Amino acid sequence: MIKQTVIASMLVLTAPIFASGDVTAPQVPQLLESKGVGSELTAKSFANLELFLNNFLKEREISLSGDDKVAKKAAKDAIPFLQFAIEKLAASKNKDKMDQASAYIIGKRIIYSIVAQETMNRSVGMMEGLGIIKKITTSMPNVEIDERDRIVGLEQAAKESTFLVGQNGNYLSVDDLAKMSVNEIADLGISDNHPLWHSEKYLATAQKDSWTKIEKWSEKKMKKKIEKKISIEAANEYSIDRAKKVLFFDEIKTSATSPKVNVYDAYGEKWKLKWGNEVQVEPVANKIYLKMGAKFADLVYTNARGVDGTVLVLGDPTQAGSCSLINSYDLLKQCLLDSKYNFNIDPYTLEKGVINEANVEKVLRNLTTNGTSGTKKSDLLGRTYLTFHESMVEFRGSKGVDYGGPIPGSFFGSEEDRVARGLLIFNMWIKNIDSKDENNKNVIVNDLYVDGDQYIEYQHDLGASLGALGQSGSMDAIADSSFARNTNSKIIFDQFMLYRPKAWMNITFADGLWMAKKIARITKQDLDQMLKDTKWPEFYQKIFVRKLLARRNKIAEVFGISEMISAEERKIDIMDIKIDLSSKDARRDAAVMFNIELAKLERLMKKTRLLDRNNVSQYVDTVVKNNHVVGCESSIIVNLLESGPNPSGIKRRIERAKDYKPLPACEFFPGIKTDSDEENL
In this prediction, residue 62 carries a pLDDT of 95
In this prediction, residue 168 carries a pLDDT of 86
> d(Cα 156, Cα 143) in Å, to the nearest integer?
12
Q: Do residues 285 and 302 touch, judged by C-beta distance below 8 A? A: no
Distances (CA, A) of 90 to 56, 85, 132, 163, 481: 16, 9, 42, 20, 50
Q: Do residues 546 and 627 touch, judged by C-beta distance below 8 A? A: yes
Residue type, 473: G
In this prediction, residue 131 carries a pLDDT of 63
Q: Is the dihedral of CA 394, 396, 400, 406 positive or negative?
A: positive
Average pLDDT over residues 57-62: 95
pLDDT higher than threshold 80 for residue 440: yes
pLDDT higher than threshold 90 for residue 47: yes
Average pLDDT over residues 171-193: 97
pTM beyond 0.85, yes or no: yes
Tell me how many degrees the CA angle 573-577-582 measures, rounded to the nearest 5.
150
Average pLDDT over residues 200-205: 90
Average pLDDT over residues 83-102: 94
For 653, residues 6+ apart whose C-beta sits below 8 A from its C-beta are 277, 467, 468, 471, 472, 473, 474, 477
pLDDT interval class at 124 (50, 70, 90): low
Average pLDDT over residues 86-105: 94
Distances (CA, A) of 9 to 5, 124, 129, 433, 632: 6, 15, 10, 17, 31
In this prediction, residue 2 carries a pLDDT of 44
Lowest mean pLDDT among 33-37, 167-171, 311-315, 597-601: 167-171
In this prediction, residue 256 carries a pLDDT of 67
pLDDT interval class at 399 (50, 70, 90): confident
Q: What is the mean pLDDT of the chain?
A: 92
Average pLDDT over residues 522-546: 96
pLDDT interval class at 656 (50, 70, 90): confident
Q: Which residue has the higher pLDDT, 135 or 507?
A: 507
Average pLDDT over residues 241-249: 97
Distances (CA, A) of 136 to 97, 433, 448, 499, 656: 41, 11, 39, 11, 21
pLDDT interval class at 679 (50, 70, 90): very low
Tally Cβ neighbours within 10 Å of residue 322: 11
For 287, residues 6+ apart whose C-beta sits below 8 A from its C-beta are 211, 297, 530, 533
In this prediction, residue 275 carries a pLDDT of 96
For 243, residues 6+ apart whose C-beta sits below 8 A from its C-beta are 265, 266, 267, 269, 368
For 303, residues 6+ apart whose C-beta sits below 8 A from its C-beta are 244, 279, 309, 310, 388, 390, 391, 392, 393, 535
Q: What are the tens digits of pLDDT across the range 357-398?
A: 999 999 999 999 999 999 999 999 999 999 999 999 999 887
Tally Cβ neighbours within 10 Å of residue 498: 20
Tell me how many degrees the CA angle 38-124-260 measures, rounded to the nearest 5.
105
pLDDT higher than threshold 70 for residue 353: yes
pLDDT higher than threshold 50 for residue 498: yes
